Amino acid sequence: MSRVVYDGTPIEYEEGDSLALAALRAGQHPARGGTLCMAGDCGNCVAIVDGTPWVRTCQTDARPGIVVRRHPNGSHPSPGGPEQHTSVTVRHRTADHVVVGHGESGAAAAAALRAEGHDVTVFDAADGDEVVGVFDGPSVIVRRADGIDHFHVHHITLATGAAEVQPVCPGNLLAGIYTPKAAAVAIAAGIDLGTVVTVGHDVKAFHGEGRVSEVEFRDGTRVACDSVIADLGSAPRDVLARMAPLVPVEVVGPAAQAHPLPPVAEEGVLCPCGKITVEDLQGVWDKGFRDLELVKRASLCGVGTCQGGVCMPHLRSFVADRSGVEPKPFTGRPAARQVTLAEAAAGYHIDTFRRTPLHAEHEALGANLDKFGGWFRPWNYGDPIAEYWAVREGVSLGDVSTLGKMLVSGPDVVEALERLYPNHVHDIKVGRSRYVINLNERGHVLDDGMICREGDTRFLLTFTSGGASTAEMWVRDWVETWGLKVHVLDRTVSHGAINVTGPLAGELLRRAGVADDDRPKFLQHRHVTVAGVPCHIMRLSFTGEASYELHHQIDRSVELWQALMELGRPLGIKPHGLQALFGLRLEKGHVIVGQDTELDSSPRRINMDWAVKMEKADFLGREALARTANLPDERRLFGFTMDGPAPLEGSVIRVDGDVVGHVTSSWDSPMYGHAVLLGWQKRLPHADVVEIDGREARVSPVPFYDKEGARARM
């Protein structure tokens, strides 16, 4: 004989015993009382098993060393202390037919299906295979002894049989009361139940101290006993059938049959999970809660751990008696058999944050990496102000591999881009590029980026790092909707990009072997080899300084980065992180879509009307912009300056004490020695002087830095 520890005391069990049976063998109730079904239908045997509360001991095999504790008396178990993650095996499986239950009806159904040549998989809780739920798909989730199975199936047959009705009368929470099948299980296991009295609906009450010792019948007779078998009929075990009304399931056998409701209970605990009494039901009924659902919700009968397994027949009987109409049972809700969160979670992987090909380089340089738009990106390399000055005064590298990059080509590509973008596309010359914004159908800014023309019918598009995945869906959806012949190749992850920026950027490229004549001018792009690496160089500027974005295949990223860092060493090169970049671009007044814009930011609101050509016949968002063009529009993004320190991003902007907007970007400009900001005013008239963080701030034209844009063209 092996032993388990039950409430601190070792008890012996026999091979094949469930924990509940082991407790009975030791002369104990597995919990603290209540009728036992030994079939997983009720919650009367739950205990804390190896630290997990609310485990049905009748459904759990006894194993050596297992530790069981009863739930505390009169209160809920503690969720427990520090936990170690236990790994749970998950398997995805397919099956033609799944039959739940291998009793008489299940076995017959399975045999019939097999005779027709079907592949049939059968589960039964008695074998430790508990069906958690049936879901769309159809799919069936099964909790098994060794893990969780996700079954994707064609057909589901539910042959779950019937559950035995439990007695509702005074004393029904005593130990020693069994359903007939539970008693049979115990007797078959060789457990001596002592003097047994079998009762039907003629029972009035059970008496005893902790254990039943006497049965009182309706006719007044009293009979002494050690155990009671309550033979009260059955009710369909159909929670799975009631769970997913649109999942095609076939219900067979007792689970599908109408069972007479038990006589209406008069007294006693009707819902052992919640200790809800007949008196409680009468109470809610008398208060006007006269609907099965309202009775349930008002009394909380049926929402305990057995999900109505015990109380449903009695609850329906009660409502039928009081209302004169037999109510339908309520909807079944997963989990039909319970799983822990660890078991439910098995097989799910939280989206990873992507790493650029230069991730290890950044780490080696001591970067503080942070999560932005689904990527790990350098926030700074320890000294954002030094990084700022490297860009403004020398040369710096920025890893912009995260940018959305999309090659579009095909006979209809110009037509498609003209419709996708509010700016002109057809007049972009080969070798030239243009800054563009994307609008949605409501005329609100979705994203921004560049269009580079590579040939008559070939363009490279860039999008923001956070907007790239949406942009791909966006472009593909529209091209398909319009039926245009356009090939879309997303190169976001196949190509890296390094931004070489600063007044010495040209010099660095020269040292990397790029002849001055090969270096693209502002808003040009060209394919050039840099330090031996084939690159597509795009000349633009987000930082405000001369900038060359070197797009290249990611297998060359590390080589290119290391070569540039090495060649730039005599020039005092420093890489810059996002923190410096955000400040640099803010001095130029460039918005970051998503940070400075809102869900409904039209181009006008962010002062980007210039990027919209209403003279075009059509483009996404044009109709909305035309319709709203003459509406009074109080909301606008402004540049502000104020004395430092820069207020927190998110600080409210007030005019005459009223909140009119908030700061979207804020930076103590090392160049100017004061704060530069972007923020919203959403009330007319727009003020020239506002209050931020209790201090005065003045509207300022943007850009704050290099208004003529001379430095970007250097």
Calpha distance 629→623 (Å, rounded): 10
User: Of these, 177, 229, 339, 358, which contacts another protein (CB under 8 A)?
Assistant: 339
Q: Does 10 bind another protein (CB under 8 A)?
A: no
- Minimum CB distance to another protein smaller for 9 or for 331: 331
What residues numbered 465-504 form the site for another protein, per CB under 8 A? none
- Minimum CB distance to another protein smaller for 371 or for 426: 371
Nearest to 606 by CA among 443, 445, 438: 445
What residues numbered 607-636 form the site for another protein, per CB under 8 A? 628, 631, 633
- Closest contact distance (angstroms) between CB of 354 and another protein is 13
- Minimum CB distance to another protein smaller for 440 or for 529: 440
* Strand duo 652-655 + 689-692: pairing: antiparallel
Site size for another protein, by CB under 8 A? 89
Q: Does 288 bind another protein (CB under 8 A)?
A: yes
Write b or e for each residue in 550-559: b if 16 or more Cβ atoms lie within 10 A of its Cβ, otherwise e.
bbbbbebbee
User: Of these, 280, 361, 447, 549, which contacts another protein (CB under 8 A)?
Assistant: 280
User: Of these, 67, 223, 648, 689, which contacts another protein (CB under 8 A)?
Assistant: 648
Q: Does 320 bind another protein (CB under 8 A)?
A: no
- Closest contact distance (angstroms) between CB of 19 and another protein is 16
- Is the four-CA dihedral 509, 398, 463, 633 of positive or negative sign? negative
User: Of these, 188, 341, 515, 710, which contacts another protein (CB under 8 A)?
Assistant: 341
Q: CA-CA distances (angstroms) from residue 431 to 419, 438, 506, 517, 526? A: 21, 22, 19, 14, 6
- Closest contact distance (angstroms) between CB of 573 and another protein is 25
Q: Does 327 bind another protein (CB under 8 A)?
A: no
- Closest contact distance (angstroms) between CB of 479 and another protein is 22
Structure tokens at 491: 């190169």
- Asked whether 117 and 173 are in contact (CB, 8 A), the reply is no
**Distance between first and last Cα of the chain:** 88
What residues numbered 127-146 form the site for another protein, per CB under 8 A? 132-133, 135-136, 139, 141
Structure tokens at 173: 């929470």
- Closest contact distance (angstroms) between CB of 461 and another protein is 24
Element housing 536 (H / E): strand 533-540
Calpha distance 506→494 (Å, rounded): 26
User: Of these, 109, 284, 500, 586, which contacts another protein (CB under 8 A)?
Assistant: 284
- Mark the segment that binds another protein (CB under 8 A) among 346-354, 382-390, 470-478, 484-492: 346-354
| DSSP 8-class letter at 431 | T
Q: Does 659 bind another protein (CB under 8 A)?
A: yes
- Minimum CB distance to another protein smaller for 224 or for 626: 626
Q: Does 328 bind another protein (CB under 8 A)?
A: no
- Minimum CB distance to another protein smaller for 279 or for 427: 279
Q: What are phi and psi of 163, to 5 degrees?
A: -100, 150
Q: Does 111 bind another protein (CB under 8 A)?
A: no
- Minimum CB distance to another protein smaller for 51 or for 670: 51
Structure tokens at 586: 């803010």
Write b or e for each residue in 646-662: b if 16 or more Cβ atoms lie within 10 A of its Cβ, otherwise e.
bbebebbbbbeeeebbe
What residues numbered 45-84 form the site for another protein, per CB under 8 A? 51-55, 72, 75-84
What residues numbered 172-201 form the site for another protein, per CB under 8 A? none
- Minimum CB distance to another protein smaller for 54 or for 217: 54
Q: What are phi and psi of 546, to 5 degrees?
A: -55, 130
- Mark the segment that binds another protein (CB under 8 A) among 60-68, 298-306, 409-417, 554-562: 298-306
Per-residue H/E/C for 177-231: EECHHHHHHHHHCCCCCCCEEEECCCEEEEECCCECCEEEECCCCEEECCEEEEC
